[in-house]
Amino acid sequence: MSLEHWVWLGIAAQPGNKIVDDILRVYPDPEEFFLSGDSGIEKVGTINERDALRIRATSLDVAKKAIESAKNYGAKIITKESPFYPQNLLSIKAAPPVLYVLGDETCLNMAPAIGVVGTRRMSEYGNKMASIISGGLGSAGALVVSGMALGIDSAAHKACLAAGGKTVAVQGCGICKTFPPENLELKELIAANGAVISEFIPDDEARSSFFPIRNRIVSGMSLGICVIEAAARSGTSITANLAFEQGRKVFAVPADVNRNTSQGTFRLLRSGAIPVADAKDILSEFGSEYTSHLSIEKIKKRKIEKEPEAKNDRPEKQPKLVKKAPPAGLSKNAALIYGVLDRVPKSSDEIADLTNLVSSAVAVGLTELELLGLVLPSSGRRFVIA
């Protein structure tokens, strides 16, 4: 079977279009369908005129260009026939004929794969829970899958990497593009310690219509989806609903029901999602078939924070912050950034002014510090010492 024809089918059918299932049912070899022309379109029987026009208009040269772009970027291409193709994906509707992969394709079938998703506008609580859950999954040896968006997605990837785990990012754009652009360093870190994947044409820019299509892959390649903070109507809620439809387990982290970003998780819990507070809660839902090879004992025990005791209404002096000494191997820029951070949230621009570093150097330094658990993101894209 020709790789060019597999890529051609993915482009001609369009990502997320269920006609790809009908085509492959009648023509298991995409090359045969390509060569059949109009008679093949008629034989499939479910292709409407709009889809038929696009199929006729898509030349093999478009596929060859996509293959060349991916190759030049350093990405691999795997088809549904490849042993590296995520086996969980094969069971969903409109599974991608091909996936473009940057990084280690062998990790795509690590089990159990758990999707960790949530709002872009995460709270400090959401960031903390993403760190606890994804860090725990990563340290145990599970695969963390997410969408590399700002907020919970990024926090999940970073926590997994910091714990020494493997993570997969599913992009809502072509593999040669990065969205959001500020996650380029994170994308490179994920590719070096897992994989970044996409089903879109390699040079496709991100579009709003791509994200719901992307989300079905996040849920499809996972045994379960954990939702950490989500508005009632959001892409995260779409992902969770897809997971329900695909027969995946859906987990949700309880939170303050009065917050907008908790309305989605509250609805999921009412709809049958499993409430969880850490990675052990998630992994305990799967049989030994998936967990016997994991190092569950490596998951750090969750600390229960005590409520402060009431004290005569007199203001209590705040303890002075004592910074931990940064690791000896910290880069010069990261050390500079660490030196100007405290409990008062600071933006990237403020950090740049205080350190005389350019914005790109600040971004790289902050990523390094986040992965080491030395700094935490706060609201408004600001940062505080951990």
- What is the full DSSP assignment across 154-194? HHHHHHHHHTT-EEEEE-SS-TTS-SSGGGHHHHHHHHHSE
Tokens representing residue 225 in the block? 């989806």
SS3 content of the chain, % helix, strand, coil (to 5): 45, 15, 40
What pLDDT shows up at residue 300? 67
Tokens of 360: 């790109």
The predicted structure's pLDDT at residue 301? 60
Q: What is the pLDDT of residue 349?
A: 78
The alpha carbon dihedral of 62, 68, 74, 75 has a sign of positive
Q: Name the residue with tokens 């995260």.
A: 236
Q: What is the Cα–Cα distance from 246 to 118, expressed in whole angstroms?
A: 19
CA distance 240 to 220: 11
Report yes or no on whether pTM surpasses 0.85: no
Average pLDDT for runs of 10 along the chain of length 386: 94 95 96 95 95 96 97 97 96 96 96 93 91 94 95 95 95 96 95 97 94 93 93 78 88 84 84 91 86 76 48 43 63 85 81 80 80 75 78
Q: So what's the pLDDT on residue 237?
A: 76
d(CA 217, CA 227): 15
pLDDT in tens, 354-386: 888 877 778 878 877 877 778 887 765 678 887
**What's the pLDDT at 379?**
62
Query: Smallest Cα–Cα separation from 287: which of 112, 130, 167?
Result: 112
> What separation in angstroms does the CA of 10 have from each of 22, 94, 138, 184?
13, 10, 32, 26
Task: Please provide the distance, in angstroms rounded to a whole number, between the alpha carbons at the two ends of the chain.
Answer: 53
99 dihedral zone (left: phi>0; alpha: psi -120 to 50; beta): beta
3-class SS at 86?
coil
Residue 196 pairs in a beta bridge with: 102, 169
Q: Rounded to an integer, what distance in angstroms lies between the CA atom of residue 11 and that of residue 9? A: 5
Rounded Cα distance, 293 and 97, in Å = 31
* Residues paired with residue 346 on neighbouring β-strands, in sequence order: 383
- What is the C-alpha to C-alpha distance for residues 32 and 1, in angstroms, rounded to an integer? 9
pLDDT of residue 380: 59
